[in-house]
C-alpha cells in the first residue's frame, strides 16, 4: 500500500463489494470493456477531428508502453497540467494502464503550487504545455526538478527543450515493448487511481486519493441521474482534470454509456454556441459564472441550440433567476444543479424533481449508501430544517487526505464522516440547500481559494502589518477576493503594488485579490478573533453603495 494513503475500513469495503458499488477492477480493466464494446463509435471530437473508442485505446496503449520505456512505473505520481485536448485523454488512460497516479493540476497553476504538489506526492514526472502566453512551463519544471529528490521526467505538450520529452512523440512513436507487458501489470483496485486537489483552508494544498473502485462507482452513479445514453453528446469547456469534468459524470461517465465528448479550450460563449450547434450537443457542464456569461451574450439568438437537453451546474450556488432565464432562451433545456466535491460525495437535483425543488436546492445524494449528517460544532446532528455542517461518508467518499494524519484527525469524525465545512439544511423534499460555509475559502467562479494561503504571502510584503482576506460578491464570478490590510506605520500600498508583489511569488493568477481595503484595525468577535464575517458584510455594503452611486 502507498505510504500516506488512508484505505476504506474492511467492513465498509466488504459491504460496498457485496452491494455491487465496487467491481474490484482497475480503471484500466473497467475501460478495456468500454473500448471493446464501443470500438467503432466516436468517443471524442477535438479541434474538428474525431476519435473512436478504438482510437483512444490504441493511442493510449502505445503511449503507455513508451512511458514504461521512458522509466515510469506503477504507483508513480505524475503532475498533469494539460488543457482540454485529446492528448490529455490519451495520457489519462495510458497512466491508468500502467498503474501511475495522475495529479489533477490546472494549467493555471504556477511554481508555488506545482512545487508543493511534487513535494507532497513524491511525483516522478510533470506533464505540461510548452508555454501559455509569456509563461514558460519548462523553465518552471526545471526549477522544481533541481529542488526535488524525486522529480525525474518533464513531458511537454508542444515544443520540448533539451532535457524534456515530447508528449506528441511519445504518442506517435511505435513502441519497442510488447503490448503483452500491459497485461502483466497488476493494479490493486483499492489503490489510488487519481489525486484530485482540495481547496483546503490551510496554506498547503491537500491531495485527495480517489481509488479505482470508488472513482468508477462515482462516475457510474453520476451518469445514472443525468438523462444520458449512448446518443448523448457532452461539451467539455471546464478544466478537463477537475473532478466534475473528469468523472461527475464527465468523461468517465459518458464513456461508460458509449457516448461522445466534444473538447474545447475556449469558454467564449460564441465558440460554445458554434460547437453546440455543429455537434448537436445534448449536455453541457458549467459553473454559474460561465452560464451567466453564456446566456447574456447577444449572439445566443444567432445559433440553433435546440439539441441541448441538460446543463449541469456545480461549483457554487446558482441564483434561480439564471435558471429561469436559461429556460426562456433555450426551452429544450433543464438546468441541473449539483453539489459535489473532489473528496467524493455528489448530490444532484433529479431531472423529474418539481420545478420549485429544482430552483431552490442543490440535490440529494446519488447512491443509496451515501450517508449524510448535518452536525453542529460538537458533532451532534441538528434537527431537520436547521442549518448544520455537511458531513458525509459512502462508497466513493475518501477516508483521509494523503499523508496528513494530523489534519485528517480534525477533518473526519471518529466514525469516518468527512466534515466538508459547508453549511446546509435539509429541504422538505429530501434535497439539500446550501446556506454558506465554515471553511475560510473564497469561491471564485467555482475555483476554491484558501484565504490563509494568500494571507501568508501578503504578510511577507514589507508594508503589511496584518491582513485578512474575505469574499466579496461579484455578479459574474459569484465571489472575488478582497484583501483587508493594516499597514506598517508610514507605509502606503496600492492594489497594483500588492498584485505585482504576489505575482512575484509565482502563484496562480486566479488566487490574486481583486480589491484592497486599508484599515486601521480589524473588527473582532466575542472570542477576540478577527471577525471575517463582519469584514465580508462591510465590503458587501460598500459595493452596494458604490453600485447605487
289: left (phi over 0), alpha (psi -120 to 50) or beta: alpha
Q: 549 falls in which pLDDT band (50, 70, 90)? A: confident
Q: How far apart are CA 194 and CA 101, in angstroms?
A: 5
3-class SS string, 283-311: EEEECHHHHHHHHHCHHHHHCCCCCCCEE
pLDDT of 529 over the 70 cut:
no
Span 398-408, average pLDDT: 95
pLDDT tens, position by position, 336-379: 999 999 999 999 999 999 999 998 899 999 999 999 999 998 89
Least confident of 103-112, 117-126, 238-247, 526-535: 526-535
Model pLDDT, residue 532: 87
Burial class for 69, CB neighbours closer than 10 Å (0-12, 13-18, 19+): middle
Q: Which of 261-270, 278-287, 376-385 has the lowest mean pLDDT?
A: 376-385
Q: Which three cell numbers stand for residue 405?
A: 494524519
pTM here? Answer: 0.86
| 19 or 377: which leads in pLDDT | 19
Point out which residues pair with 466 in neighbouring strands. Answer: 486
* Average pLDDT over every residue of 16-29: 98
Contact 197, 205 (CB under 8 A): yes
CATH of domain 216-437: 3.40.50.12780
Residue 279: CA count within 13 A, CB half-sphere: 31
Q: Residues near 283 by Cβ (< 8 Å), separated by ≥ 6?
A: 226, 228, 232, 233, 234, 235, 254, 308, 309, 310, 311, 312
CB 135 within 8 A of CB 167: no
Q: Where in the chain is the domain with CATH 3.40.50.12780?
A: 216-437
The ranges of the chain annotated as CATH 3.30.300.30 are 441-548
CATH homologous superfamily of 441-548 equals ANL, C-terminal domain (3.30.300.30)
Rounded CA gap, 196 and 342, in Å? 6
The percent of residues above 70 in pLDDT, for the chain, comes to 98
pLDDT at residue 48, as a whole number? 95
Residue-wise pLDDT for 75-110, tens only, equals: 999 999 999 999 999 999 999 999 999 999 999 999
pLDDT in tens, 375-394: 998 899 999 999 999 999 99
CA distances from 443 to 25, 456, 472, 497 (A): 35, 18, 10, 24
CA dist., res. 237 & res. 279, Å (int): 14
Length of the chain: 549
d(CA 386, CA 374) in angstroms, rounded, equals 9
Backbone φ and ψ for 206, nearest 5 degrees, come out as -115, 140
Q: Which three cell numbers stand for residue 414?
A: 471518529
Specify the range with the lowest mean pLDDT, choosing from 173-182, 193-202, 256-265, 451-460: 193-202
pLDDT at 317 over 80: no
User: Looking only at Cα atoms, what is the longest distance across the chain?
Assistant: 71
pLDDT at 526 over 70: no
Q: Thinking of the domain 27-187, which architecture would CATH place it in?
A: 3-Layer(aba) Sandwich (3.40)
Crossing angle between the packed helical segments 320-329 and 288-296, to the nearest 10 degrees: 40
Predicted local distance difference test score (pLDDT) of residue 548: 87
**CATH 3.40.50.980 occupies which residues in the chain?**
27-187
pLDDT at 388: 94
For the segment 420-428, the average pLDDT, to the nearest whole number, is: 92
Q: Supply the pLDDT for residue 378.
A: 87
Please tell me the predicted confidence (pLDDT) of residue 200.
57
Secondary structure class of 76 (helix, strand, coil): coil
Identify the pLDDT of residue 525.
63
The answer to whether 398 and 6 are in contact (CB under 8 A) is: yes
Q: For 226-244, how does the pLDDT look when each residue is reduced to its tens digit (9 = 90+)?
A: 999 999 999 999 999 999 9
Query: Strand, helix or coil at 488?
Result: coil
Distance CA 400, CA 495 (A): 38
Give the pLDDT score at 56.
Answer: 98
Q: How far apart are CA 153 and CA 164, in angstroms?
A: 7
Q: Which pLDDT does position 251 carry in this prediction?
A: 98
Q: Give 127-159 pLDDT, tens digit per residue.
A: 999 999 999 999 999 999 999 999 999 999 999
Question: Which residues are within 8 A (CB) of 109 and not within 5 positions of it... i.e. 6 or more apart?
Answer: 81, 117, 508
- Judge contact between 357 and 335, C-beta under 8 A: no
pLDDT band at 441 (very low <50, low <70, confident <90, very high): confident
The pLDDT of residue 331 is above 70: yes
**Which grid cell is 217?**
462507482
DSSP letter, residue 65: H
Q: Can you tell me which residue has the cell 442543490?
A: 362
pLDDT of residue 1: 76
305 vs 204, which has greater pLDDT? 305
Which pLDDT tens digit goes with each residue over 467-501? 999 999 998 888 999 999 999 899 999 999 999 99
Amino acid at each position: 500500500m502507498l505510504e500516506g494513503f488512508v484505505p476504506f475500513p474492511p467492513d465498509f469495503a466488504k459491504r460496498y463489494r457485496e452491494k455491487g458499488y465496487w467491481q474490484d477492477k482497475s480503471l484500466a480493466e473497467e475501460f478495456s470493456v468500454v473500448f471493446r464494446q464501443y470500438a467503432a463509435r466516436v468517443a471524442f471530437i477535438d479541434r474538428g477531428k474525431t476519435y473512436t473508442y478504438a482510437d483512444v485505446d490504441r493511442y493510449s496503449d502505445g503511449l503507455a508502453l513508451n512511458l514504461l520505456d521512458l522509466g515510469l512505473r506503477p504507483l508513480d505520481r505524475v503532475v498533469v497540467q494539460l488543457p482540454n485536448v485529446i492528448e490529455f485523454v490519451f495520457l489519462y488512460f495510458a497512466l491508468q494502464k500502467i498503474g501511475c497516479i495522475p495529479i489533477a493540476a490546472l494549467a493555471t497553476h504556477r511554481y508555488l503550487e506545482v512545487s508543493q504538489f511534487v513535494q507532497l506526492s513524491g511525483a516522478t514526472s510533470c506533464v505540461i504545455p510548452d508555454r501559455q502566453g509569456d509563461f514558460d512551463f519548462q523553465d518552471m519544471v526545471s526549477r522544481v526538478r533541481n529542488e526535488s529528490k524525486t522529480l525525474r521526467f518533464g513531458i511537454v505538450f508542444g515544443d520540448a527543450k533539451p532535457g524534456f520529452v515530447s508528449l506528441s512523440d511519445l504518442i506517435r512513436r511505435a513502441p519497442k515493448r510488447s503490448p503483452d507487458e500491459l497485461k502483466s501489470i497488476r493494479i490493486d483496485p483499492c489503490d489510488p487511481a487519481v489525486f484530485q486537489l482540495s481547496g483546503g483552508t490551510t496554506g498547503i494544498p491537500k491531495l485527495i486519493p480517489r481509488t479505482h473502485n470508488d472513482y468508477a462507482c462515482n462516475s457510474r452513479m453520476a451518469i445514472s441521474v443525468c438523462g444520458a445514453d449512448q446518443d448523448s453528446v457532452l461539451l467539455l469547456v471546464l478544466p478537463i482534470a477537475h473532478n466534475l469534468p473528469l468523472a461527475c459524470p464527465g468523461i468517465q461517465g459518458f464513456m461508460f454509456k458509449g457516448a461522445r465528448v466534444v473538447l474545447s479550450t475556449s469558454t467564449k460563449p460564441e465558440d460554445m454556441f458554434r460547437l453546440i450547434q455543429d455537434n448537436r450537443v445534448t449536455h453541457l457542464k458549467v459553473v454559474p459564472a460561465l452560464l451567466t456569461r453564456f446566456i447574456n451574450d447577444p449572439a445566443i439568438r444567432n445559433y440553433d441550440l435546440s439539441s441541448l437537453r441538460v446543463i449541469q451546474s456545480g461549483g457554487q450556488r446558482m441564483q434561480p433567476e439564471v435558471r429561469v432565464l436559461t429556460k426562456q432562451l433555450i426551452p429544450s433545456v433543464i438546468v441541473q444543479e449539483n453539489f459535489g466535491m473532489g473528496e467524493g460525495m455528489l448530490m444532484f437535483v433529479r431531472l423529474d424533481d418539481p420545478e420549485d425543488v429544482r430552483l431552490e436546492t442543490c440535490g440529494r445524494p446519488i447512491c443509496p449508501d451515501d450517508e449524510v449528517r448535518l452536525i453542529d460544532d460538537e458533532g451532534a446532528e441538528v434537527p431537520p430544517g436547521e442549518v448544520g455542517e455537511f458531513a458525509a461518508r459512502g462508497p466513493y467518499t475518501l477516508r483521509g487526505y494523503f499523508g496528513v494524519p494530523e489534519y485528517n484527525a480534525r477533518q473526519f469524525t471518529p466514525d469516518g464522516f468527512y466534515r466538508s465545512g459547508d453549511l446546509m439544511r435539509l429541504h422538505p423534499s429530501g434535497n439539500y440547500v446550501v446556506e454558506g460555509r465554515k471553511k475560510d475559502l473564497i469561491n471564485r467562479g467555482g475555483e476554491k481559494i484558501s484565504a490563509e494561503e494568500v494571507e501568508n504571502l501578503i504578510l511577507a510584503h514589507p508594508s503589511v502589518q496584518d491582513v485578512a482576506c474575505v469574499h466579496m460578491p461579484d455578479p459574474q464570478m459569484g465571489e472575488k477576493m478582497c484583501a483587508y490590510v493594516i499597514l506598517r506605520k508610514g507605509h502606503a500600498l496600492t492594489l497594483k503594488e500588492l498584485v505585482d508583489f504576489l505575482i512575484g511569488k509565482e502563484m496562480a493568477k486566479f488566487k490574486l485579490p481583486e480589491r484592497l481595503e486599508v484599515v486601521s484595525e480589524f473588527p473582532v468577535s466575542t472570542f477576540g478573533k478577527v471577525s471575517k464575517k463582519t469584514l465580508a458584510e462591510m465590503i458587501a455594503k460598500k459595493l452596494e453603495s458604490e453600485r447605487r452611486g
